């Protein structure tokens, strides 16, 4: 597949890397999603977080690297970049705090806990996170294994101190490594939360995206989750939607996604949109659908970031829909270039 330029895009402004000007010596970060909080604030979620000087994350020793961190960002005009933020820090205020902690026998030398996305509901902030196992002697981009997806909760009165929730089988992996990691994107609609999840191939670049849902007030009950097992496609747009209490990989909504993504309702276009990177190429793409359950269009190119090196991989492409302006005509998207390893922000003006 060779995606064509999208006619939905009028222009793109490159706003550059973000969060570099901070007091905690944070110099590199991965993932980057945001969740709306009460009171006009948002919670930005990061994966591996590098402190101090580094040349490249490719082959970097990760044992002492925080594997998930967060920052509070007020809702504001980010057309000139994210200017106002504060990291969740240790009591000393001199170092970022890892939000979701390890449980023995897990160890930071071989495991990572990558917080991906979440939702604030019922007086708590929930984060969905990947538990991964890696070979610390090799490049994590190529060798990590997804062990499963877990959920952690921080109550509003607990200063973002997260407790990992156990699954019915007593483990912390609500969905195991051979299942989609539901929660890479969480979308509240009506009285349900809709969770996207990906089954990743060995290439780590062309994952298939699936959908689950759960009543908002039952987020902590795994048996309350349902899975989309039948959905319309471009070839068969009249196929009825069907949900099941058991997941089967029969309703892939689209593919070629390196795990992370976003979806939102865009009022300007009058449809759902999904922004991702295309595989791990320097290509940011948009897909559209009349309903969240599809049918989803083929990807079309929004923007092609300049390749900074031959080894650069691009991932973590996603929208921050709560910062959209002009009724969704102007939207904001971040991505990560593995060579630079800093959140990169673009402004997209739709036609």
- Tens of pLDDT, residue by residue over 85-134, are 999 999 999 999 999 999 999 988 889 999 999 999 999 999 999 999 98
250 pLDDT tier (thresholds 50, 70, 90): very high
Within the chain, residue ranges assigned H as helices are: 140-143
Q: Give the pLDDT mean for 40-64.
A: 82
Flag whether pLDDT at 288 surpasses 80: yes
In 23-63, DSSP assigns E strands to 26-37, 41-51
Which 3 state secondary structure label does DSSP give 91?
A: coil
Q: Give the pLDDT mean for 265-274.
A: 98
The residue that leads in pLDDT, 220 or 135, is 220
Q: Give the pLDDT mean for 232-243.
A: 97
Q: Give the pLDDT mean for 338-342.
A: 93
Name the percent of the chain lying above pLDDT 70. 95
Flag whether pLDDT at 41 surpasses 80: yes
Flag whether pLDDT at 57 surpasses 70: no
Of 31, 5, 84, 6, whose CA–CA distance to 266 is shortest? 6
Are the CB atoms for 181 and 197 separated by under 8 Å?
A: yes
Give 134-168 pLDDT, tens digit per residue: 876 666 666 678 899 999 999 999 999 999 999 99
Flag whether pLDDT at 46 surpasses 70: yes
Of 122, 70, 80, whose CA–CA distance to 100 is shortest? 70
Predicted TM-score of the model (pTM): 0.95
64 pLDDT tier (thresholds 50, 70, 90): confident
In 39-88, DSSP assigns E strands to 41-51, 69-74, 86-87
Q: Give the pLDDT mean for 274-290.
A: 97
pLDDT at 144: 75
Q: What is the DSSP letter of 5?
A: B
pLDDT at 134: 82
User: How many angstroms separate the CA atoms of 317 and 300, rounded?
Assistant: 14
- By the 10 Å C-beta count (0-12 exposed, 13-18 middle, 19+ buried), 211 is classed as buried
Of 244, 238, 243, 253, whose CA–CA distance to 294 is shortest? 253
Flag whether pLDDT at 306 surpasses 80: yes
pLDDT at 146: 86
């Amino acid at each position: 597949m060779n995606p064509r330029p999208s006619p939905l895009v009028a222009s793109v402004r490159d706003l550059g890397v973000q969060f570099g000007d901070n007091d905690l010596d944070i110099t590199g970060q991965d993932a980057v999603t945001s969740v709306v909080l009460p009171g006009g604030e948002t919670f930005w979620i990061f994966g591996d977080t590098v402190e101090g000087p580094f040349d490249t994350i490719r082959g970097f020793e990760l044992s002492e690297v925080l594997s998930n961190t967060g920052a509070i960002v007020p809702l504001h005009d980010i057309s000139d970049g994210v200017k106002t933020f504060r990291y969740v820090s240790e009591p000393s205020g001199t170092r970022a705090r890892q939000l979701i902690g390890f449980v023995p026998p897990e160890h930071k030398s071989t495991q990572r806990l990558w917080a991906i996305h979440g939702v604030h509901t019922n007086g708590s902030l929930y984060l969905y996170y990947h538990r991964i196992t890696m070979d610390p002697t090799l490049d994590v981009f190529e060798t990590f294994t997804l062990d499963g997806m877990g959920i952690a909760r921080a109550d509003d009165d607990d200063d973002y101190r997260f407790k990992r929730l156990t699954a019915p089988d007593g483990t912390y992996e609500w969905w195991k490594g051979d299942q989609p990691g539901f929660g890479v994107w969480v979308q509240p609609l009506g009285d349900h939360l809709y969770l996207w999840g990906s089954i990743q191939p060995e290439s780590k670049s062309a994952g298939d995206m699936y959908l689950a849902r759960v009543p908002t007030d039952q987020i902590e009950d795994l048996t309350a989750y349902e899975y989309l097992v039948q959905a319309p496609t471009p070839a068969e747009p009249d196929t009825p939607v069907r949900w099941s209490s058991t997941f089967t990989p029969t309703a892939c909504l689209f593919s070629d996604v390196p795990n992370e993504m976003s979806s939102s309702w865009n009022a300007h276009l009058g449809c759902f949109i999904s922004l991702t990177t295309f595989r791990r190429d320097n290509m940011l793409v948009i897909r559209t659908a009349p309903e969240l359950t599809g049918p989803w269009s083929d990807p079309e190119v929004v923007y092609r970031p300049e390749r900074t090196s031959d080894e650069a991989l691009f991932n973590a492409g996603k929208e921050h829909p709560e910062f959209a302006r002009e009724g969704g005509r102007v939207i904001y998207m971040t991505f990560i270039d593995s060579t630079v390893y800093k959140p990169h922000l673009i402004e997209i003006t739709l036609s």
